[in-house]
Structure 1
Amino acid sequence: MGPWNRVSVAKCQMLVTSVFVLLLGLFVASMAALTYFGAHFAVIGHASPEDTPYEAMHRWLFYAGIGLAGLLTLGAVLSAIATVREAGCLMAGGFLCFALVFCVLTQMAFWRFHNPAQVEDAVLDIYDLVYEQAVKNPSGTQWQELLAIQDTFLCCGKRTPSSLLGSSEADLCLGEQARRQDCLQGIRSFLRTHGHIASTLASVGLASMVYAMLLSSFLCFAIRSGRSLDRKGTYTLSPRARGCQPQEPSFFRRFQEELALHHLSEAGALHDRLGPSGCSDGPRLLQDN
């Protein structure tokens, strides 16, 4: 495969990769919006006290997701435009966006690996705090917040040795609610499912960023070297068919015929003035006189 074919294949792959990265950015933005505005996280955030680790973590995850989605979208748009217009500067900008996304995803994967249960522990701590306050004071607002959490996660109470036993706790799980799962297990299961989806998106994003950076760097070098797909400014002539003469414009052909006739007339006049010896008759007439 020649260099021109390699550049053509790389440009097609860059366009497909840009579309995929654009869709990935849309998924990341949807995941960030679901994490911040979703019913499960919203009810936990409403019940959590101010200045808790959960609030800071929740806000940081949302801003990080929106920032990643913006960088993914910008990188995909810049790479697609640079591929079509063969702009080296735009391709370099797309490579920079992909590199930033790769660094952020690597940092998030490193944090997730060293703190796998940090988000889960923060949410469960909030539920424990609301649960204990609601059981101690059933007439307070914590009771309504506890019921909202249980209705959202479809769970009821918690079965641990540290639970407060009493009539208030027994009133939480009556009728059909008694068949629900333990809230600690329900919250943990939901957060783990959410975390698995986020980890999958991060893994796909890392692989896509590596591939996109390789393509963008190769195309940036190719564009700056002058190897374009369309070969702008280069023309090739097709071979002539056997027995066919090239057709010239009629105006140009008439001009050539008139020029040939003019040369023939001048040659005839010159022949008339010259004698057989090739000399002019003028000097001979002067000698006769």
Structure 2
Amino acid sequence: MGPRSRVRLAKCQMLGTGFFVLLLGLSVATMAAFTHFGDQFAVISHASLERNPYQAMDHWAFYVGISLAGLLSLGATLSAVATVREAQCLMAGGFLCFALVFLVLVQVAFWRLRNPTQVEDAMLDIYDLVYDQAVRNPSSARWQELAAIQDTFLCCGKTSPFGILGSAEANLCQGKEAARQDCLQSIGSFLRTHGNITSTLTSIGLVLMVYAMLLSAFLWLAIRSGCGLDRKGRYALTSRNHGCQPQEPSLFRRAQGGPASQDPSEAKAFVHHWGPTGHLDGPPRLQG
């Protein structure tokens, strides 16, 4: 396989990789919006507690996700345009976007490995606080917040570690709500599914970024060296002395200048031939 074939293959792979990077950016933006505006997360984030540890995580995850989605879209666009136009600067910009996304994803993966249950613990702590305050004072606003959380997760109450429930806890789940799952288990199961999706997107993003950086680096070197590209030739403008006018064909000068630019003898013969009134006087006679 020659250099031209290798470069063409790399271009095709770069365009395909850019398409998948755009899909990844759309997925990351969707996950960030769902994490911030989804009912399951919003009902926990909006709990009116003196200290809500999940709010800081929620804002951090949303801004990081939107930033990653923007960088992914920008990198895919720059690399695609650079591949088509064989632009060296645009290809370098795409490589820089991919490198930044790779660094951020490495940090996210490292945080997930060190704190796999941090988000789950924060949300469960908030539910415990709302549950305890609502059970102690059923007439407070906490009871409405507890009902909103349980309706959102389709759960009811939580299992007592001692197996004994108070009167308010016993009356909390009645009728159809008694068949619902324990809220601690329901919230934990939902967050584990959400965490698995996040980990999958992070792993796919790391692989795509490594591959995109390798392709963009190879194409940048190919564009810089001009080896194997599809350019038909090189063109250069020749310098011209100041004040010199380019020569034009005599026929073009006559058409542009009219009779005034003709030779005087030719003009005189022309007038004698056609006459002063524009009628033909006879065959033209040359003047001696």
- Settle same-fold status: TM greater than 0.5: yes
Aligned to 1:122: 122
- The answer as to whether partners of 1:157 and 1:183 remain within 8 angstroms in 2 is yes
Report how far residue 49 of structure 1 moved: 2.1
Report how far residue 229 of structure 1 moved: 3.4
- Mapped partners of 1:162, 1:146: distance in 2: 22
Aligned to 1:99: 99
Aligned to 1:75: 75
- Mapped partners of 1:172, 1:73: distance in 2: 48
- Mapped partners of 1:160, 1:82: distance in 2: 62
- The answer as to whether partners of 2:76 and 2:94 remain within 8 angstroms in 1 is yes
- Mapped partners of 1:164, 1:95: distance in 2: 61
2:75 partner letter: G
- 5+ unaligned residues in a row in structure 2: which ranges? 235-288
- 5+ unaligned residues in a row in structure 1: which ranges? 235-289
* Aligned 1:1-289 pairs, distance under 5 A: 1-161=1-161, 165-227=165-227, 229-233=229-233
Quick one: structure 1 residues 148 and 141, their matched pair in 2 at CA, closer, same or farther if it must change by over 3 Å?
Answer: same
Q: Percent same amino acid at aligned positions? A: 72
| TM-score under structure 2 length normalisation | 0.79
Q: If you compute each CA radius of gyration, which structure gives the higher value, 1 or 2? A: 1
Aligned to 1:272: none
Aligned to 1:280: none
- The answer as to whether partners of 1:102 and 1:210 remain within 8 angstroms in 2 is yes
- Mapped partners of 1:162, 1:145: distance in 2: 25
| TM-score under structure 1 length normalisation | 0.79
Quick one: structure 1 residues 79 and 163, their matched pair in 2 at CA, closer, same or farther if it must change by over 3 Å?
Answer: farther
- The answer as to whether partners of 1:48 and 1:126 remain within 8 angstroms in 2 is no
Report how far residue 167 of structure 1 moved: 1.9
- Mapped partners of 2:181, 2:201: distance in 1: 29
- Mapped partners of 2:163, 2:133: distance in 1: 12
Q: 1:92-147: CA deviations, max 9, x gaps?
A: 00000000000000000000001000000000000000000000000011001001
- Root mean square deviation, CA, Å: 1.5
Report how far residue 184 of structure 1 moved: 0.3
Alignment coverage as a number of residue pairs = 235
Secondary structure at 2:46 match in 1: helix
1:15 partner letter: L
